[in-house]
């Protein structure tokens, strides 16, 4: 299938709204590591507005372009489509076969990636009853992501197993 090379270099981007309504943009790699976490925006904001404010695309252009290989992000339709940012085809009416196949393939991959995003919320019990002004939900979530990444380096994750990619060791992740 022509898309196999894409999957090797694919990273997923997603907006997460924590309990207490703090919005974050995070990038999850196929090895199950959340490689970028930006945010702590109060309230519910549109994905595209937050994505623009993060300057994440400019960072991607600096670190993900190589002479023979580019890494890309895959995200919601709200982020739009650019050279290094892919999204599903917008309409399900009058799609070509290859477009329907792309959407179907990416939908399956997206489910596997959701496991990684949910791990940090579920594993460290970030609860819905937390209050934004009474508890430091932003810091708690950031620490939860760091600990989730450490856990992933030690025990792997469903996402890494799905993609057949081993996460780095703890020493490599922390930087010895």
In a domain, 109, yes or no: yes
Q: Is the pLDDT of residue 161 over 60?
A: yes
In a domain, 174, yes or no: no
In the three-class reduction of DSSP (H, G, I as helix; E, B as strand; rest coil), residue 127 is classed as: coil
Q: Please give the average per-residue pLDDT across 53-66, as a whole number.
A: 86
User: Could you tell me if 29 and 13 are in contact, meaning their C-beta atoms sit under 8 angstroms apart?
Assistant: no
Global pTM value:
0.81
In a domain, 175, yes or no: no
Give the domain range for residue 126.
4-166
CA distance 47 to 91: 19
**Two structure tokens written together for 46:** 């549109």
In a domain, 28, yes or no: yes
Q: Is the pLDDT of residue 1 over 60?
A: no
In a domain, 173, yes or no: no
In a domain, 172, yes or no: no
Which residues are registered as beta bridge partners of 16? 24
**CATH number of the domain that residue 51 is part of:** 3.30.420
Q: Is the pLDDT of residue 2 over 60?
A: no
In a domain, 104, yes or no: yes
Q: What is the pLDDT of residues 66-99, one digit of tens each?
A: 888 878 888 888 888 888 888 888 876 789 999 9
Which residue is associated with the tokens 């919005």?
23
CA distance 159 to 117: 10
Number of domains, the chain: 1
């Amino acid at each position: 299938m022509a898309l196999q090379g894409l999957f090797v270099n694919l990273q997923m981007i997603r907006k997460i709204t924590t309990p207490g309504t703090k919005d974050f943009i995070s990038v999850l790699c196929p090895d199950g590591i959340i490689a970028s976490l930006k945010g702590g925006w109060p309230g519910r904001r549109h994905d595209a507005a937050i994505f623009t404010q993060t300057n994440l695309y400019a960072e991607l252009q600096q670190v993900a372009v190589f002479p023979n290989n580019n890494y890309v992000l895959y995200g919601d339709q709200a982020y739009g489509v650019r050279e290094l940012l892919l999204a599903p085809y917008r309409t399900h009416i009058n799609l070509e076969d290859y477009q329907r196949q792309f959407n179907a393939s990416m939908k399956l991959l997206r489910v596997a990636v959701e496991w990684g995003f949910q791990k940090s919320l579920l594993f460290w019990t970030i609860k819905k009853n937390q209050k934004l002004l009474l508890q430091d939900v932003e810091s708690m979530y950031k620490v939860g992501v760091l600990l989730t990444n450490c856990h992933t380096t030690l025990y792997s994750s469903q996402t890494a197993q799905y993609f057949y990619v081993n996460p780095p060791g703890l020493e490599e992740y922390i930087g010895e």
